[in-house]
Chains A and B, each alone.
Chain A
Amino acid sequence: MIDTLHVVFRVGATEYVIPASPVLGMESYDGATPVPGAPAYLAGVIQVRGRIVPVIDLRVRFGLPPIPHSLDTRVVVVEHGGRVVGLLVDRAREVIRLVREQLEQPPAIVTMESGGFVAAIANVGPRMVMLVDLPSLIGAEEKQQHVQ
């Protein structure tokens, strides 16, 4: 299903979008508490309105080198399958409207190289944005394994 409203965020030089419906909020970021033994892409845990939220560093998830966080750094807090997870991104400011027709299958090479994180691509005016696949991003499959 394609929601029309999408949140745009930037990781490295690329702009990504996710549907706005699972997004609970965007928080500024001043560091997370590292969790020893967690996957490398887990920046740590933060507290959002009393709740402990794991934060996935999308730079690491996407294989980019870490950079120091700035005033632009955001945690996009999403809810998926009963879990609440934060996505650490370089910047997140915009919400845009995307209609189904704008979305295209990503080129095979992108699909392969992205490790299944990119579900579709879209042209928004002069820009190209990538629609990320939230479940694979937050490791929903790993959860299944965990439960079993």
Chain B
Amino acid sequence: MSDTPDLSEFLDAYLGEADEHLTNANAQLLAIDTNLRSGAPVARQVRELFRALHTIKGLSAMVGVDPIVAIAHRMETVLRSSDRGGGHLTSEAVDLLLQGTRAIELRVRAVREHASPPDAPRALLDALDAFESEPRAQLASTDLLPLALDPRVATKLAPFEHEEILRAVLAGRRAICVWFAPSTALASVGVTIRSVREKLGSVAEIIKVVPISMPEGDDAPGAMVFSLVALTTLSDDEVAGRTEIERRFVVCVAEPPAAEAEPAAAEADPLMGADDGDALIDVRRSGVVRVEVSRLDQALEHLSALIISRSRLLREITRLGELGVDTRALGAIAREQSRQLKELRASILGLRMVPLTEVLDRVPLIVRGVRRSTGKTARLEVDVGRAELDKAVAERIFPAIVQLVRNAVDHGIEGREARLAAGKPDDGVVRIACAAVGNAQLELRVSDDGGGLDRAGLARRAGAPIPETDAATLALLCRRGISTRDRADATSGRGMGMDIVRRIVVEQLGGELSVHSEPGRGTTFALRVPLTISIVDALTFECSAQRFAVPLSAVDEIIEIDTLRVAYGPQRAGGAVEWAGVMERRGAALSVLRLDAALGLGHRAATGPMRPKGLIIRSDGESFAFVVDRMLGQQEIVVRPLTDPLLAVPGVTGATDLGDGKPTLILDLLALCVRHRGAGARNMSGLGPAGRTEHRA
């Protein structure tokens, strides 16, 4: 793979599609498994599975991931022979196929991580081969058919690829070889191995792409050439014409025997040919569009720009009003528009949400796998309703759920005898449920009806006293290198697990992890995570030489503050700072609060020129202006919630990084307002915390 220079541009598309087809393949396999048990027909699922695998194989061949091609090909063969045998599949075959998709997944992941995918496991290939009911006797005659292949290419073809070409040729297709020598000159006009692959892929089925390095020369300006071996029904001239590849680079490898040229190419594979129309209808019916997240982000960005220009519009309307123009109609339109923008924003954010059921659709596979490897009988119950999660959160949380489900089956649920002895049904239950927490968090619960956590054993292994509370047990469980079991095993490994779960939930997602375990009754892990990793538009400003951010949505307006026009009343005893005053605005009194004083910050000079501004907040119909030293700008920020109890202070909701690697606090001015109103005029100075020690410079 390393000698395929521009694989990278191809990769994203490949990875995306491979994932999609793998998911489909797994879903079909599960359906087959279920149907086999209940005796329902599986032909349709086998067909779907075959298509998915075939696509994976084709894609992998195009990017040159040979181990996947080898596995997918053998899986196809198993399905083909099952089809010939009347569509029956044994449970063993399903197991083997699941192992196959797992092996493919691992290799796709390796490609994603830019590692070279490990070779296909020999044992798996052999096991798959052994399932083919029909030996290759039929092909013996075709061995006579010569492939006019360059030896450098021929040696790179795996026997099954060779065989596939022969089969296709027998079935009436032509095998061709297209040569392509990449060069900077060609690349500058957009002709790369990628474009050639795409064009050829549209008129032929690419079996293999073989990169061949050779001395730099006229034939190979880039010191390498690609040989693309493909199957087609078109003539060489047609291929050259339709792909804009020079005719001399298209070489015939094998022609179908004249007498057998009759059968249509589609007939070659009953599994492939069968009712494609059905599949098409399915695609339409599901009404699902795949969209890259970056496009959604882009849409949000455009929306932000729109929100900014709306703020400007509002300012202009205000200015007109101040000039005595009747702006009531304009104002009404602007308000309407604000509401619409808010809705639009919510819809775009909603596009990033994925149903939890979709996130969890591979969990049954995992349970099945662990069930097999541990010999335990466990059943999965998923009851998550229609809950949704932001895609970014969903992607992060999935591995944690997988780990918890594995642990539940492997460590939580007792062996059959123990269960029966305890008077439990022999089928263990692993349950995934969820509940909304407020409107910003979701609590996912993974529970089992097993024996509960073995605190004593855990303490023994950790060399710690036996934990008395669930929280202490969890802390011990999440230590690095702690397992709930003495021996390491293939399913849960040893240690690692809970540590990773905690890291994902707490550190990556800023959530909370807790456990409740009852001896003999089972264990429940609760993962409380934010629905979205929230990104908001925020205003940044400086106050007493400290930077802060407030969500743009919380601020109605930004006004100039002429400090001379603010009237501060008599201050109470001990109220050293004049912090609450009034100013005249549009013929009415506007409450003016100094933010530095409201937060209890000692006054410090601004780091730049002072340009006091008022941020207008509306609370219960009343407007307040918080005075800040100067505005810094407006930008999108990633909100990190402050979860530590030491940081649970009113008016501060989170922190963000404005790019300097240091936290900048995000304020909730409304909470400060409410606090002010709650405190009333009784004790205004009580707002600022008393006796704050000056922070060390």
Q: Which residues of A contact B (CB under 8 A)?
A: 1, 21, 31-47, 50-52, 54, 56-57, 60, 66-69, 80-85, 138-139, 142-143, 146-147
Contact = CB atoms under 8 A, between A and B. Distances in A.
Q: Top 5 A-B pairs ranked by shortest CB distance?
A: A37-B649, A36-B599, A146-B645, A34-B695, A143-B645
Contacts of B601: 34, 36
Given A36-B601, A37-B599, A83-B644, A57 B696 contact: yes
A82 B471 contact: yes
A69 B696 contact: yes
A33 B692 contact: no
A52 B663 contact: yes
B640 A52 contact: yes
Nearest to B644: A54
A51 B651 contact: no
B271 interface: no
Contacts, number: 111
A21 B479 contact: yes
Contacts of B691: 40
Interface residues of B, number: 43
A71 B401 CA distance: 43
23 contacts: A31-B695, A31-B696, A33-B665, A36-B599, A36-B649, A36-B651, A41-B693, A42-B647, A43-B695, A43-B696, A45-B642, A45-B663, A46-B663, A47-B661, A47-B662, A51-B507, A52-B642, A54-B644, A54-B647, A60-B693, A68-B697, A69-B696, A83-B644
B147 interface: no
Contacts of B506: 82
B479 A33 contact: no
Nearest to A69: B696
Contacts of B665: 33, 35-36, 45
B513 interface: yes
Interface string B153-190: 00000000000000000000000000000000000000
Contacts of B502: 82
B645 A142 contact: yes
Contact of B546 (A21, A34, A50, A56): A34
B696 A67 contact: yes
B647 A40 contact: no
A38 to B, nearest CB: 5
B490 interface: no
Interface of B: 463-465, 471, 474-475, 479, 502, 506-507, 512-513, 546, 599-601, 640, 642, 644-652, 655, 657, 661-665, 688-689, 691-697
Instruction: Identify the interface centre among B688, B691, B696: most chain A CB within 10 Å of its CB.
Output: B696
A82 B514 CA distance: 9
A54 B652 CA distance: 13
A81 B471 contact: yes
Given A36-B652, A47-B661, A68-B697, A82 B513 contact: yes
Given A33-B662, A51-B507, A54-B644, A81 B475 contact: yes
A32 B640 contact: no
Contacts of A84: 644
Given A45-B663, A52-B640, A39 B655 contact: no
B467 to A, nearest CB: 11
Nearest to B689: A37
Contacts of A37: 599-600, 649-652, 689
Given A33-B655, A50-B507, 17 more contacts: A1-B463, A21-B479, A31-B696, A33-B662, A33-B663, A34-B695, A36-B651, A37-B689, A45-B665, A46-B663, A52-B663, A57-B696, A66-B694, A66-B696, A82-B513, A85-B644, A138-B646
A147 B471 CA distance: 13
Contacts of B600: 36-37
A35 B475 contact: no
